[in-house]
Structure 1
Amino acid sequence: MQQSTNQMICCSEHEMEAQLVILDQEMTQKQRLLCTECISKMEGNYRFLGFQKIKQIIEENQNLKNQVIDNVINQRRDIIQKFQIQIDSYRSIQIQKFDNIISQTNFWIQNLNEIKQKYQSSNFCKEFEILLQNNMQFSQIDEQQIYKDLQQELTSLISNYQPKLAHELNELMETSKLFQATYSIFECFENEEISAFQLDQITPKVEIKYMNKFEKQDEWCYAIQFDKKGQRMISTSNKDIKLWSFNQGKIQLIQQLKGHLNNVTCLLFTPQSNCIISGSYDHTLRCWNINEQNQLISQSTFKEHSGKIHCMILNQLGDQLISSSKDKSIKIWKFDQSVNGLQLQQSLSKHQNEVYSVSLNQSETLLASCGRDQQIIIWKKDQFNKWQFNQIVTQSIQDFGKKLLFLNDDQLIWVSSNNNLEKNSIWFYESKEGVLMENKEKAIHLDGDPNLDYISFPIQYNKEKNLLIVRHKQIIYLLRQSLKGKFVIFAKLPCQDENSYGALSNDGRYLVFWDCLYQNKNKSNGKYLVYELSYK
C-alpha cells in the first residue's frame, strides 16, 4: 500500500472504509480490501485479518525501520559532530601553541636587538679617554674578545628560549598525532560497511513464501511436530492425535487416533521416528507405536503427574524424557525404545506453581525450567546422572514466562508472557563463571499487545540455518544471529489470534502452524497454514 497509514483506505467497489483484509496472495490489492458491505456479501472460506490489525503491524514495522535508520544516521552524525568538536579544540590548541612560539621568538629577537644595541652603543667620554691614553691612536680591534663577550650572552639566551620552544613544538607534534587518531574514526565507517557486506555473504537471506495451501480443522490444535526426515507430521485435535503425510509442503491425513480423555497438549517423535509420545490435560503420558503400515497403535499409558502436562522434551539419544506439569513438578523418565515404555526415574520439586517449559543445554549437563511462580530455575546433572538444583536466575523484571530455550551450552532465552506492554521481550541469559546472568544489552523488545502469551508453539531454533522462531501472542517472529552475536528480527508473520501453535521442519524448509479467528468451546474456524523458507 502506497497510502499513508493515517489516510482512510477504502474498498474499490463501494468506496467505504476497509474493515478486513483477505490474506490471499493471488488476489489483487483492491480485491483484498473488504468494507462492511463486502463482508455481508462475502462467500467462500478465506483467511483474513482486521484492517486495524494490519495497519498496526505496518505502522510497527515502519517504526522499526525508522528506528534502524535513526540509529544508523544518528550514530554517524554523532561521531562526525564529536569529530568537529575535537578538531575545533585541536585548532584552538594549535593556535595557542603557535601564538606561544611566535611570542617566545619575538622575545628572543627583542633580546638580541638589545644585546646588539648594548654593544654598538658609543660613549664619547670613555672612548676619548682611551684615545688619549693611546696617543690619539686606535688600537687594533680585538674581534676574539668581542665574540667571547657576545657568545656568553647569546648562549644565555639559547638556554632560556630553546627549551621553551622545544616544549611548544613537541606539544604541536602530539596534537598532530591526536588529529591523526581522530581522523581514524572514518576508517570505522569503512570497516562497518565491509562487515555489513560480509554479513550478507556469510548469512544468506531468507525468503518466506505462503504456499496458499491450508487444511481446515475446527477442533483445537495444541501441538505440531515433524519426524526426523520431514515426511510425516503429527498434530492434536482436541483429545485426538492426527498423523499426516508431508510432501513438499502438502499435508494429507493418514490417521486420527483416540485414547486420551482430555485435550492433548504435547507431542514428540522419538529420534528413530518409530514411536510417538503424547502428553495431555488428563495428567497422562502415552506411547504410540508406528507399524509397518504407517499406522499408530497405542502401547501404554503412564500417570505420575497430578495435573495437566504442559511440556515434554527428549534428550539427544532419545532415552530420557523430561515432562513438566501444572502439579508444580518436573518428572524425569527413562524411555525404553525396545518396548516403547516409560519408567519414572526422578521428580524435581522446587517451583511454587505450575511449570510451563523445560529445556536442556547442548551438552545436556544443565536443565532450565520456568513457571507461573515467575522463576527460572537451573538444574545440574551430578556424577550419578541425577538432576540437582543449581540456581534461581536473577531477573530484572518480575513476570512469568511460558517459553524458554537453551541456544547452546551457555546461552538461554526466555520470553515474557504478561500483559504488561513494557515487558514484552525476549530476554537473554549467559553463563559467567558457571552462573547464568541476564544480558540486558541483548534483550529484544516485542510488539505491544495487552493479551497474555500462551504455552504452546514452543521456541523453534535451527542452528544450521541460523534461524530462531518465536511466536509471541499474535505475531510469529523470525530472527537471525548477526556476526556480532546479536539476534535480529528480520520478518513477522501475523496470526489471527494468540492461540496459534506450530513447528518448523527439521531441515528448516517449512513452517506449519494452526491458526484461527474465533473460538467457541472446542470449536473454531481453524486451519493449518504452510510457509516455505528459502535460503538465498
Structure 2
Amino acid sequence: MINCNIPDHETDVEFLCTNEYCKDFRIFCFKCLQNEKHSTHIRDVQKIKDYGREQINRNDEDLVLELEKMIDHINQIFFTLKEELKCGNQISEEELNGLNLIQLNDLICSKIKFRKEKQYLIQTIQKNADSLIETIYTGLNEFSQIQFDCPGKKVKQEMKTQKFDMINSIQDEQINSFIFNQDASILVGGYESSKIQVFQFKKGEIKLIQQLNLHKKSIYCQYFMKKTNEFLSGSCDKSISICYQNNNQKWDLKQRLEGHQGGINCIVMNNDEDLLITSSDDMLIKFWRKENEQWECQQTIGGHSSFVSCISLNETGNQLVSCSKDNQLLIHQYDQIQKMWILGQTIRIKQWGRRLCFINDIMIAFQPEKKEQMHIYHLDNVEQLFIKSQEILVGVGSERKKNRSCFWFFPQQYVQSKQIILNKNGCCVNLIKKDQNNDFVTIQSIDFQTKAIFGRMTDDGEYLITWDDRSGSIQIRQYIE
C-alpha cells in the first residue's frame, strides 16, 4: 500500500472519490474521512479494493457499448433515409400514361419541391456531420494528449527522443566516486583501494594525468570546487583532503580536515563556496568555514540515531536536508540572528534511504531503499513545512542476489541545465525528467544487473560516467536528444 500524502496521518490510503466536482485529493486514508474530507459527496466514496482495475475496465466497456448503440441507431436512420430518397414520389410508366395534363403538372411541381427538400435535408445533414466529425477529432486529440500525460505513455514517448548512449568503456578497478570540474575537462576518481586518480576528460575519452595517495582507506565521496581549482575527498579513514593545483600544474595536498569519528559519507558546499558541510558514519554533520585560508569546524549537529547516509543543501544555501537509517528526514535551517543551524522539521518515514537531493528551494527528491518509487516533497506555502506530494515510478533492475541491500555512494544529482534527476536505485540508474509543471517522468532506466554501481553526471548533463562490478569497467554515456 501507499502512505497518505498528509504526513501527520502516517497511514495507508484505502479510499477513493469518483465525484467529478471534487477538489480534494482523490486517494486518501480513514483519518481524512474522519476530518470530513469528501463529506458533501460521501456516496461517491469507495474503498480502493472494491473499485480496482475491473471497475475501471468495466466503466470503459460501458462507454464503448453506449457508443456502439449510438452508431447502430444512426446507421438505421441513415438506411431508412436512403431508401426514402430512392423510392420517394416514384411512379410507374403505366401510371404516368394515365395522368391528365393537370395531374402531370402537379406531379412535376411535386418532384421539383421534393428535390429541393432533399437538397436542403442533405445540406443540413452535411453541416451537422461536419460539426460531429470536428467534435470527434477534437475529442481524439484531447484523448491523445491525456494519454501522453499518463506516466506509462509519457515514458515511452520521451524514451524515443531522450537517452544516454554508451560511447566508451575502460577496464579499471573499483571506483567509489567520480567528480568533474566545472567545464568537464578534468575527471577525478576516488578508488576503493584509497588512491585518487586525476584524468583529462575530452569528448568521452579519458587520459590519466596523475595519481595521488592521500588516504589510508577507501574514498567514499568527493567534491570539485567551481570558483577555485581545488577538489575535496572524503575517506573511510575519517579524514577529508583538500587538493589544489601547484605552480607545476601538479595536484598536491593543501589541507587535511579531521574531526569526524567515522567514515565521511557526503561533502557539499554552498554556491559561494565559503561553507563546507560534511556527514559521517558517526551520526554527525559538521559545518566548516574558511578563516585565513584554512577551513575550521564552526558547528556540529546531531539528531540522527544512525549513520548519516546523505545530505543536500538547497539552492539558496539556508536549508539542509539529511537522511539516515533511523527512518527520519531532518531539515535544518540557518538562523541569521543566532548565526547557527537549527532543526526546523523532522519527517518520519516508513522506509529509510541512501539518496536525496534538493531540486530547488521548495522541492526535495528522496529515494527509499528497495522501493520502485522516488518520493517528491514540496514546501507548503501556508505551514512552511515539506510534505510528500508525489511518488515517481523508477526502475529497480534485476540481480540474482535478491535480498542484497542497495549499495553505498553514487549520490543523487539534479542537473539544472537538463532538468534531469540522476537516480541510482537497486541495480538501475534512472534518468528522471522534470517538466515546466513540476511533473516528473523516468525517461531512461539503465539496468546494470548489479547493485554495486557508482557514478556521476557532468554539470551540463552531457555525459554520464559509471563503474560497476559486473562489467568491471568505467562506462561513459553521452546524452542524445
TM category, shorter: 0.5 to 0.7
Give the distance between the partners of 1:531 and 1:263, measured in 2 at CA: 26
Give the distance between the partners of 2:434 and 2:147, measured in 1 at CA: 13
| Pair 1:465-2:413 in alignment | no
Aligned counterpart, 1:81? 62
Percent identity of paired positions between Structure 1 and Structure 2: 23
Give the distance between the partners of 2:136 and 2:333, measured in 1 at CA: 46
- Structure (1 or 2) with the larger CA radius of gyration: 1
Aligned counterpart, 2:185? 231
Contact 1:496/1:516 (8 A) holds in 2: no
Task: Describe the shift of the 1:202–1:446 C-alpha distance in structure 2 as closer, same or farther (beyond 3 A).
Answer: closer
Give the distance between the partners of 2:325 and 2:442, measured in 1 at CA: 27
TM-score, normalised by the number of residues in structure 1: 0.60
Residue pairs, 1:31-430, within 5 angstroms: 78=59, 81-82=62-63, 187=138, 189-193=140-144, 205-211=161-167, 213-218=168-173, 220-237=174-191, 238-335=193-290, 339=293, 341-384=294-337, 385-395=339-349, 398-418=350-370, 423-430=371-378
Give the C-alpha shift of residue 335 in structure 1: 3.6
Contact 1:413/1:428 (8 A) holds in 2: yes
- SS of residue matched to 2:354: strand
Give the distance between the partners of 2:353 and 2:157, measured in 1 at CA: 36
Aligned counterpart, 2:477? 531
Give the C-alpha shift of residue 184 in structure 1: 8.3
Aligned counterpart, 2:10? none
Give the C-alpha shift of residue 526 in structure 1: 2.5
Give the distance between the partners of 2:161 and 2:395, measured in 1 at CA: 22
Give the distance between the partners of 1:78 and 1:444, measured in 2 at CA: 25
Deviations 1:129-158 (A, max 9, x none): xxxxxxxxxxxxxxxxxxxxxxxxxxxxxx
Segment of structure 1 superposing worse, 198-207 or 499-508: 198-207
Give the C-alpha shift of residue 425 in structure 1: 2.4
Give the distance between the partners of 2:233 and 2:264, measured in 1 at CA: 9
Aligned counterpart, 1:124? none
Task: Describe the shift of the 1:372–1:185 C-alpha distance in structure 2 as closer, same or farther (beyond 3 A).
Answer: farther
Question: In structure 1, what residue type is equivalent to 2:478?
Answer: E
Contact 2:166/2:477 (8 A) holds in 1: yes
Task: Describe the shift of the 1:389–1:254 C-alpha distance in structure 2 as closer, same or farther (beyond 3 A).
Answer: same
Give the C-alpha shift of residue 455 in structure 1: 2.5
Question: In structure 2, what residue type is equivalent to 1:389?
Answer: L
Give the distance between the partners of 1:195 and 1:329, measured in 2 at CA: 47
Task: Describe the shift of the 1:204–1:364 C-alpha distance in structure 2 as closer, same or farther (beyond 3 A).
Answer: farther
Higher helix share: 1
Give the C-alpha shift of residue 355 in structure 1: 0.3
Deviations 1:85-129 (A, max 9, x none): 6999xxxxxxxxxxxxxxxxxxxxxxxxxxxxxxxxxxxxxxxxx
Deviations 1:439-477 (A, max 9, x none): 2x4342543653211221111221221222111121111
Task: Describe the shift of the 1:508–1:348 C-alpha distance in structure 2 as closer, same or farther (beyond 3 A).
Answer: same
Aligned counterpart, 1:485? 438
Give the distance between the partners of 1:388 and 1:355, measured in 2 at CA: 17
Unaligned runs of 5+ in 2: 1-51, 70-130
TM-score, normalised by the number of residues in structure 2: 0.67
- SS of residue matched to 1:190: helix
Task: Describe the shift of the 1:482–1:503 C-alpha distance in structure 2 as closer, same or farther (beyond 3 A).
Answer: same
Higher strand share: 2
Question: In structure 2, what residue type is equivalent to 1:532?
Answer: Q
Give the distance between the partners of 2:142 and 2:261, measured in 1 at CA: 58
Give the C-alpha shift of residue 359 in structure 1: 0.6
Give the distance between the partners of 1:281 and 1:202, measured in 2 at CA: 40
Aligned counterpart, 2:39? none
Give the distance between the partners of 2:394 and 2:254, measured in 1 at CA: 45
Give the C-alpha shift of residue 76 in structure 1: 9.6
Aligned counterpart, 2:105? none
- SS of residue matched to 2:141: helix
Question: In structure 2, what residue type is equivalent to 1:255?
Answer: Q
Give the C-alpha shift of residue 272 in structure 1: 2.4
Deviations 1:478-502 (A, max 9, x none): 1212454321112121225211111
Task: Describe the shift of the 1:286–1:201 C-alpha distance in structure 2 as closer, same or farther (beyond 3 A).
Answer: same
- SS of residue matched to 1:298: strand
Task: Describe the shift of the 1:282–1:463 C-alpha distance in structure 2 as closer, same or farther (beyond 3 A).
Answer: same
Contact 1:479/1:491 (8 A) holds in 2: yes
Aligned counterpart, 2:23? none
Contact 1:442/1:486 (8 A) holds in 2: no
Deviations 1:33-71 (A, max 9, x none): xxxxxxxxxxxxxxxxxxxxxxxxxxxxxxxxxxxxxx9
Question: In structure 1, what residue type is equivalent to 2:176?
Answer: Y
Deviations 1:184-206 (A, max 9, x none): 89856523545788999999932
2:391 aligns with one of 442, 449, 456: 442
Task: Describe the shift of the 1:496–1:217 C-alpha distance in structure 2 as closer, same or farther (beyond 3 A).
Answer: farther
Give the distance between the partners of 2:446 and 2:63, measured in 1 at CA: 41
Aligned residues: 354
Contact 2:164/2:478 (8 A) holds in 1: yes
Task: Describe the shift of the 1:431–1:273 C-alpha distance in structure 2 as closer, same or farther (beyond 3 A).
Answer: same
Give the distance between the partners of 1:372 and 1:194, measured in 2 at CA: 41
Task: Describe the shift of the 1:84–1:399 C-alpha distance in structure 2 as closer, same or farther (beyond 3 A).
Answer: same
